[in-house]
Chain A
Amino acid sequence: MALARLQVSPSVRAGEAVEVRLLVQHPMETGFRRESDGRAVPMNVVNSLVCRLGAVEVLRAEFGSGVSANPYLSFWIVPPASGELVVEWVDDAGVKGRVAATIAVT
């Protein structure tokens, strides 16, 4: 299951900066952890993530095992026009996730 929250103010004045906050539910396994029976848990992290507003790429990120479980990310944008803010990511196991929010520029 790829659960996530994307928080951004639904309406923004033109030219105004707005904070985008993203929380992805993911264990971000480092590969250094073992199960109670001694089996090593393979590394599995969200290795890449991309945020788009309409067709424009807003932010791209690569993560290693040094990012905490349930990765949190916040950044600031000036949306040029109304549109759907979409964040997509993929982990080492190939599992993809997507979360979206609508921004209205007034």
Chain B
Amino acid sequence: MSRRHFLRAAGGLAAGAALPAAAQSNRILPVQDIAPLIARITGGRPVEKRDVTVELPSLAENGNSVPLRIRVASPMSATDLVTDLHVFAERNPRPFVAAYHFGPVVARAQVDTRIRLAVEQRVLVIAALTGGRFLSGETHVVVTSAACIDEGI
């Protein structure tokens, strides 16, 4: 093989490998069905899509540590309060991220933490309120450097 041929072939390979990195990772980690996980929390009761704010950077540089703030518009009075928060990332290898259960001392329906995100995806939060009510909120995040997909899944 001549040097020219080799370079042409190598260049083509490199371009092919570099181009669809994001598209590839989305193909490796498809959306997982989190409906059974949600059903286990809600017991089939309806979930209203309101009042839950999921604050995430719209573009996360490092998927290994993405700051997350969850806020629920709730008076947190004795009769009307948020009792639980459940966090799901449906394109992570394991969609369950975390769950928080509030006792009576908790003053605000707010939690700050840092999470892992495998790829660009939707982060969903389900909030359980007193009286068997459920609210949800979600945010879409773009992840440039993904977590946990260096392994060929």
Contacts and interface: CB of A to CB of B under 8 A. Distances in A.
- Of A62, A66, A78, A80, most B-chain CB atoms within 10 Å: A66
Interface string B113-153: 11111000000000000000000000000000000111101
Interface in B95-123: 95-108, 110-117
Interface in A65-105: 65-69, 71-80
A59 interface: yes
A55 to B, nearest CB: 11
B106 A67 contact: no
Given A32-B151, A33-B151, A77-B107, A61 B112 contact: no
Top 10 A-B pairs, shortest CB-CB distance: A66-B97, A17-B107, A74-B112, A68-B114, A76-B108, A60-B101, A68-B65, A64-B96, A78-B107, A76-B107
A56 interface: yes
B87 interface: yes
B96 A74 contact: no
Interface of B: 64-66, 87, 89, 92-108, 110-117, 148-151, 153
Contacts of B99: 61-62
Interface of A: 17-18, 30, 32-34, 53, 56-69, 71-80
A72 B105 contact: no
A61 B65 contact: no
Given A62-B99, A67-B113, 9 more contacts: A18-B107, A33-B151, A64-B94, A65-B92, A66-B96, A68-B64, A76-B108, A77-B107, A80-B105
